[in-house]
Amino acid sequence: MKILSVSELNQYVARVLSQDFLLNSLRVEGEISGGKLYPSGHYYFTLKDSKAQTSCVCFKSAMSNLDFKPIDGQHVIVSGYATIYEQGGRFQIIVRSIERAGEGLLYARFVELRDRLQKSGLFAEERKKKIPFLPERIGIITSLEGAVIRDIVHILRRRFPGFVIRIFPVSVQGSSSAQEIVTALALANSEADCDVLIICRGGGSLEDLMPFNSEEVALAVSASEIPVISAVGHETDYTICDFVSDLRAPTPSAAAELVLPRKSDLLTNLDMYRNRMKTLLLHTFALANSKLKHLTERPVLRQGDYLISSRLQKLDILSWRLQSSLTAVSADQPLRIARLKDRIERSSLSILQHQSVLLEKGRNMLRANMSHRLSQERLGLDKLTAKLLALDPNAVVRRGYARLSCIETGKAISSLEQLAIGADIRIYLADGIADARVKELFPLELLENLQEGSLPD
Amino acid sequence: MDNKETQLELSYEAAVERLEEIVNLLEKGEAPLEESLDLFREGVTLAKACEEKLSALTEEISKIQLGPEGIMIETKVEFPDA
């Protein structure tokens, strides 16, 4: 086997490449990165796709008839021939011309990747994670410059004062953008302890949005443990990042409105629960009260009296019948019967009397017992009502006062310092709530040195 | 895969769920008087706790970047009001 020198090897490879039909008239599509224009007028750059890259050189002559200025991140179609740079032993493309990859080509690439990822189940609903209702720390992957992050901050300040956001600054277009997003996602998932992530950028051309259509970003988003909200471009723009994310927001501002509820809604909600509980409790008390009253009128109590008086009545009838039968008997049997009659009379009367005394005592005991029970119940009820009133923050309100709270923060207001002219406050009155705006503030000292009744109107 | 419940969210959502439960119990009206009052007391306390938690929150905005040795650096970011 003949031993070659390096230059012989490289020359051989150059010859092989030059005889290959395809490599001699190439058209290659990819993204420009690391482009450098030398004083010589030659332009060296790398052409890459999501998995590979190759180096290219466009000599001065070819550069002059380009109809655009190539810059990093642009998607282009390069035509030329492949060769080996013999000194360096490096495979490269000698570029004759470069043309911008039209929207059509970019879109075709987008559709192709989207369908492939869809088939692999990356967009499946079951993979979508739940967005937390009230995230404590929100991670935002976007550019620090530009209006997007400023809009999000202002929207969140209006909706939910006291939010916490951690921004992961990335470039949102150009060749390094996709990789920066992937790094940010990894960082967020490893250390930054966020509860939700928003990946967002403003509107742009399909080329500007390409990083969000890259496979590397798609894979990174789907691998994220933390739920991801994607808000890329205008409402009408759909990127692969949107499809693979756990929630797509039409725009970055919409994402801000989705990620946190309005704090004033939460506070009103709590107020609603408090009032609901109070009304229900008062209702339960009223029910108990009426049950008690109802109990006292129940026939079984009155019946007690009824049973006793009917028993007494029966006794009267018996004694009357006894009397009359005895008189009938004694009419025809003189002395013996008279004595017998006497004894019967005395013993039955004593029985009758004894019975009625017992019954009388029973009735009184029943009555006493009942009233004792009733007063016990009433006492218990009054004690509980008192406890309720003590608890009820609005008790004061019922006695004609009002309770104020700041609509935004929900804090109770007790002094002028907490107020400013134009501040929105919520007034709690006995029969409802009123929202108002402060018109004028009169501190105590001002009032004191004014004469009575001459308050400035 | 369930995601990490945050402390604030867990307590807030759990609290609201309990409030809902209390309202339902009071609505059924089966609980004896003393117990209804205890339920009411628990509900009022829960609502107050949530309100305080919400009002106590303070705004924090920071940016996170990878430092030289690959360690995370967090720095505060100012956003003046519009």
Residue A181 lies in a domain: yes
pLDDT at B4: 45
Question: Which regions of chain B are under pLDDT 50?
Answer: 1-5
The predicted structure's pLDDT at residue B8: 57
Q: Specify the DSSP class assigned to residue A5.
A: P
Task: Name every chain B residue with its beta carbon within 8 A of the beta carbon of A283.
Answer: 29
Using the structure block, give the residue that is written with the tokens 């693979």.
Answer: A244
Give the distance from residue A177's alpha carbon to the nearest chain B alpha carbon, in angstroms: 15
DSSP codes of every residue in A52-85: -EEEEEE-HHHHHT-SS---TT-EEEEEEEEEEE
Residues A345-361 pLDDT 10s: 777 777 777 777 887 78
pTM for the whole structure? 0.62
Contact A132 B22 (CB under 8 A): no
Q: What is the pLDDT of residue A253?
A: 95
Q: What percent of chain A has pLDDT over 90?
A: 46
Mean pLDDT computed over A75-95: 92
Which residues are CB-neighbours of B43 under 8 A, at least 6 positions away?
A: A273, A274, A277, B18, B19, B22, B23
* Domain total of chain A: 4
From chain B, pick out residues whose CB is under 8 angstroms from the CB of A168: 63-65
A409 with A398: CB under 8 angstroms?
A: no
Residue A239 belongs to some domain of the structure: yes
Read off the CATH number of the domain in which A134 is found.
3.40.50.261
Q: How confident is the model at residue A405 (pLDDT cuts 50, 70, 90)?
A: confident
Chain A contact for B78 (CB, 8 A cutoff): no
Q: Is A132 part of a structural domain of the chain?
A: yes
Is B6's CB within 8 Å of A410's CB?
no
The Cα A12–Cα A177 span in angstroms is 40
The CB density around residue A147, as the number of other CB atoms within 10 Å, is: 12
Contact status of B75 with chain A (Cβ, < 8 Å):
no
Structure tokens at A123: 């967009």
Residues A154, A241, single domain; the answer is yes
pLDDT digit string, tens, across residues A26-60: 999 999 999 999 999 999 999 998 789 999 999 99
Nearest chain B residue (CA) to A387: B37
Using the 3D structure, point to which of A237, A260, A283 is the last residue of a domain.
A260
In-domain check, residue A321: no
Query: What is the 3-class SS of A168-226, one letter each residue?
Result: EECCCCCCCHHHHHHHHHHHHHHHHCCCEEEEEECCCCCCCCHHHHCHHHHHHHHHCCC
User: Among A101, A118, A146, which residue terminates a domain?
Assistant: A101
> Do residue A132 and residue A204 come from a single domain?
yes
Q: Are residues A235 and A142 in the same domain?
A: yes
Assess if residue A113 is contained within a domain.
yes
Of the listed ranges A66-75, A126-135, A309-318, A414-423, the one predicted with least confidence: A309-318
Does residue A356 fall inside a structural domain? no
The pLDDT of residue A334 is 63
Residues 6 or more apart in contact with residue A148 via CB below 8 angstroms: A142, A200, A201, A202, A252
Structure tokens at A251: 């725009």
Q: Count the neighbouring beta carbons within 10 Å of the beta carbon of residue A296.
A: 13
Q: Does A235 share its domain with A274?
A: no
For residue A43, the SS3 value is strand
Is there a single domain that holds both residue A208 and residue A189? yes
DSSP-assigned letters across all residues of A100-168 = EPPHHHHHHHHHHHHHHHHHTTTT-GGGPPPPPSS-SSEEEEE-SSSHHHHHHHHHHHHH-TT-EEEEE
Average pLDDT in the A286-298 region? 76
Q: Let me know: does A42 contact A59? Beta carbons within 8 Å.
A: yes
> Could you tell me if residue A53 is inside a domain?
yes
- What residue of A is the nearest CA neighbor of B81? A154
> B73 touching A, CB under 8 A?
no
Domain that holds residue A44: 6-101
Whether A121 and A238 share a structural domain: yes
B76, B62 Cβ separation under 8 angstroms:
yes
Q: What is the pLDDT of residue A357?
A: 80
For residues A327 and A323, give the distance between their C-alpha atoms in angstroms, rounded to a whole number.
6
Q: Tens of pLDDT along A103-124? A: 778 888 899 999 999 999 999 9
Q: How far apart are the first and last CA of chain B?
A: 40
Taking the CA of residue B54 and the nearest CA in chain A, the distance in Å comes to 8
Chain A residues in contact with B79 by the CB 8 A cut-off are 149-150, 153-154
Which one of A260, A282, A313 terminates a domain?
Answer: A260
